[in-house]
Structure 1
Amino acid sequence: MSFRSIVRDLRDGIGSLSRRGFDARLNRDKSQNAVNELDDHPILVSHWDGLPPELLRDVIKRLESSESCWPARKHVVACAAVCRSWREMCKEIVSGPESSGKLTFPFSLKQPGPRDTSIQCFIKRDNSNSTYYLYLCLSSALVIENGKFLLSAKRSRRSTCTEYVISMDADNISRSNGGYIGKVRSNFLGTKFIIYDSQPPYSTAVPSGRLGSSRRFSSRVSPKVPSGSFNVAQITYELNVLGTRGPRRMHCVMNSIPISALEPGGTAVGHPDLFHRSFEDSFRSISFSKSSQFGSARFSDPGIGTNDVQNRKNMPLVLKNKQPRWHEQLQCWCLNFKGRVTVASVKNFQLMAAAASHAVVLPPQTTSQAQPHDKVILQFGKVGKDIFTMDYRYPLSAFQAFAICLSSFDTKLACE
């Protein structure tokens, strides 16, 4: 290579570097000018945001009264996703499932069901990949069709326990997904289960195990609330080797629900601000451990208090399964599911409040009025191959009811 060609190559290289530097400065100046122009002009607000509040309130009220069931209910969700002012108006008008009996927004899955009626759902089981899907019934007919998807769960077996991960995502069911909202874990024999919630049921809840290992998980129910594993319920199945004592016997200790929730005027929501705080956050993710006795943080010590009645009111609610009766003609154990269950199965059950736990003073009622602990709070039963109905009501939420039903699917070596 000649000396002249070397000089020419160096000159061309220096020229290209100069041109690149000039182009970079030019682009930087253009971007700075664009930023200055953006600062000079205010951000335009959608014209929907400027709708008069009186007119907006009337629109939302009419829509709320007309949209009684899914899939038409999606229009209410669409209105709440328009802008902040529409979302605030929906927060004011649209009530939770306890009073309306409707599951509208994602956080409704953590809210208690209606007091006077039950929300009818069904569960589909897929044994090929150990997954379970919860759907909202769109009709009162027993024929199960495509319903509104609510929750999903995936079972994973370990050497010492079985774990069910519960998610709001039907496709990606894992703890690393943003739809993760809780889990159910059993012991080795499958006789004891603990329900963990990813969000605290009340402001003073203490997570079980190490919180740092769960902080990477987010939730569509309330992303601003720190995630963790909060023990909200414990399920126990009595030992019944070879089924000599009859059908399964189970009882559930609801650590996040006090007994006083069943009293007139009582509430099952641990933190009243959680409803409003999670309302707005739930739209931001929609696209259109070991057990610990943390119940003492929620419920007062029975030995401390003004009187015994107040202490009993602050104790956790206990649910037990309704014992079936023996039918002489059919030669089997029977329960009245009012037509919602058609196939006999050891998994079928009805849960009601334990009478022993209702040591609270209730107002006098007539004989025609049912006591709170006489009502079936949750019933679960088989209607076809891998299809089960699930009907729940106050004070349980859809998440809690689904988690309790998942415990019935697990194999129990010492219960039958």
Structure 2
Amino acid sequence: MDTDKKAKIFLLAARKRKKSTTANYLLSTDPTNLSREGDGYCAKVRSNALGTHFTIYDNGHNPKKTDNQFSIRQELAAVIYETNVLGFKGPRKMTVIMPGIEPGNDSKPAVRCIHRPVLEKHTLLEKNRSGDTNSLKVLTNKSPQWNDETQSYVLNFHGRVTQASVKNFQIIHPNSPEYIVMQFGRVSEDEFTMDFRYPLSAVQAFGIAMTSFHGKLACE
């Protein structure tokens, strides 16, 4: 993270688990120990077999592997990738689903809702699929516009992203398309930049960014 004084502060690191057949990233606040046993382990990102549906969990346990309801993992967000009406040649469509936020007032701050499903039908992905989203926040990516000069789809990153990539995206609320909740994109061959703000936390934003790196058999 860059501060106003141009100093760099470490926030999070991620490691892909090689033995997993699907996308499986561990997120840690400790860059020297990116293991499940490390003190910095704070979240993980898992995908389906096609790499089109992702869930970002905290460091809790699978509900099938624990009897303690308070140790069951929380779902922090879910991400869905789809092809658009142009098929494989067009930009990817993203949907981000996250637990809702209880609004605050003068006497109390806003509070993030805890989403700790035990049954599959209560997961963020399943609630979105069934249309049960009243208690959730559903965001989407801003649609790129076709540029005849560059012969490509482009977004205005205001100088923060400098190279074209299928991984570049901006996340918005459908009702407020000019309020960029998050943007992510390439600035060099192996370097990307990420900006985020309310209602996303750093872990949610970093987890969403990790989903962009995994191959999507149904979208590419």
TM value normalised by structure 1: 0.45
**Rounded Cα–Cα distance in structure 1 between residues aligned with 2:15 and 2:85:** 28
Query: How far did 1:408 drift?
Result: 0.2
Question: Partners in 1 of 2:215 and 2:111 — Cα distance?
Answer: 31
Q: Tell me if structure 1 keeps the 8 A contact 2:51–2:214.
A: yes
Matched, 1:251 2:95: yes
In structure 2, which of residues 46, 49, 63 is the aligned counterpart of residue 185 of structure 1? 46
Aligned residues between the structures: 211
Question: Offset at 1:412?
Answer: 1.2
User: Are 1:377 and 2:181 counterparts?
Assistant: yes
CA contact (8 A) 1:208 1:230 kept: no
Q: Match for 1:187: what amino acid?
A: N
Q: Distance in 1 between matches of 2:142 and 2:103?
A: 20
Shift of 1:294: 3.8
Code of the residue aligned with 1:390 in structure 2: it is M
Q: CA deviation at 1:257?
A: 2.1
Instruction: State the Cα distance separating 1:140 from its structure 2 match.
Output: 7.7
Bigger radius of gyration among the two: 1
Q: What is the SS of the residue equivalent to 2:207?
A: helix
**Contact map agreement 1:378 1:401 (CA 8 A) in 2:** yes
Q: Partner letter of residue 343 of structure 1?
A: Q
Structure 1 residues 412 and 350 mapped into 2: Cα distance closer, same or farther (>3 Å)?
same
2:79 corresponds to: 235
Q: Taking structure 1 as reference, are residues 383 and 290 closer, same or farther at Cα in structure 2, changes over 3 Å only?
A: farther
Once the two structures are TM-superposed, the CA of residue 209 in structure 1 deviates from its matched residue by 2.6
Gaps of 5+ in 1: 1-135, 200-206, 216-224, 272-288, 300-310, 356-370
Residues 28-56 of structure 1: CA distance to partner in whole angstroms, max 9, x if unpaired?
xxxxxxxxxxxxxxxxxxxxxxxxxxxxx
CA RMSD of aligned residues (A): 3.5
Q: Give the residue type in structure 2 aligned to 1:415.
A: C
Whether 1:346 and 2:166 are equivalent positions in the alignment is yes
- Say which of 205, 210, 216 aligns to 1:401: 205
Structure 2 unaligned blocks of 5 or more: none
Q: Which has the higher helix share?
A: 1
Equivalent residue of 2:42, what SS?
Answer: strand
Q: Tell me the distance in 1 between the aligned counterparts of 2:151 and 2:110.
A: 42
Alignment of 1:20-169 (within 5 A): 136-139=1-4, 147-158=8-19, 160-169=21-30
Q: CA deviation at 1:139?
A: 4.7
Higher strand proportion: 2
Q: Equivalent residue of 1:396, what SS?
A: coil
TM-score with structure 2 setting the length: 0.81
Change (3 A) 1:261 1:245: farther
Distance across 1 between alignment mates of 2:23 and 2:15: 10
1:269 is aligned, of 85, 104, 112, to 112
